[in-house]
Amino acid sequence: MTCDEWFLLVFKKIKLQFVAFLKRGFSMAEQVSSSEFLQGEISKSIEKLKGKVESSKKKAVWANALSITLGAVITLTLGVDVSDEYIHLQKNLALAFGALLTVISSWNALFDYKKLWIRQKNTLLSLYQVQNELGYMKSKNDESQLDDVFNKYQCVWDKDSREWISIFKVQRLLVIMRRKMKWEKFCEYCQSASTKNCDSSDTSA
């Protein structure tokens, strides 16, 4: 082997080692970018969900507080003794407060802010767990299970979607049942009214 051939062989080995080094560097860069992307997505989801959790909590507290307050006001309005000239005003006030209570209760039953708050809070805690797991994995410089963490992140949102759908179905079923009960009561009222009319006509005859 001549000197030129030996230098050529050494140069080829150095070139192969340099190419392998570059490939490892690009692979590590891709892994870091993937972990940073997942970390950013989790952080954005947490920040967005934290606002929703606080909003749902405030709405649940206000809806329950207004319902309790209006119920107490209606009781006090009807329980206070007033003179004959203010009886109509008392009844009108009680009717207005009762209508407002019905609107608030129906609105709260439709959106169910308390259950929405609990669902969002559970999702937020699950996201915190995924974020902690990702941070611990990055601290060990072991990103071999990055796909598993991403799958857990996806599962958190899948579970949240399923719970939202189940809550919506339950609320819709409750609305249908309430309408059915109101219709049955209306039919019973009509039947009792018709029976009374028939009895009064028989008596008059």
In the predicted structure, residue 38 carries a pLDDT above the cut 50: yes
C-alpha to C-alpha distance for 63 and 133, rounded to whole angstroms: 37
Q: Residues 64, 176, 55, CA angle at the centre, nearest 5°?
A: 30
pLDDT exceeds 80 at position 142: no
pLDDT in tens, 46-96: 998 999 899 989 999 998 999 899 889 888 888 888 888 888 888 888 889
pLDDT of residue 61: 92
The predicted model gives 28-33 an average pLDDT of 51
Instruction: Of 35, 12, 15, give the one whose Cα is nearest residue 136.
Output: 35
Contact predicate 123/50, CB 8 Å: no
Residues in the chain: 205
5 vs 115 pLDDT, higher one: 115
192 within 8 A of 162, measured Cβ to Cβ: no
Q: What is the dihedral of CA 71, 74, 75, 78, to 10 degrees?
A: -170
Over the chain, what is the mean pLDDT?
75
pTM (global) more than 0.75? no
Which two tokens mark 39? 């970390």
3-state class percentages of the chain: helix first, strand second, coil last, to nearest 5: 95, 0, 5
State how far the Cα of 59 lies from the Cα of 17, in Å rounded to an integer: 63
Specify the pLDDT at position 29. 45
pLDDT for 83: 81
Predicted pLDDT at 41? 87
Query: Residue 181 has what pLDDT?
Result: 63
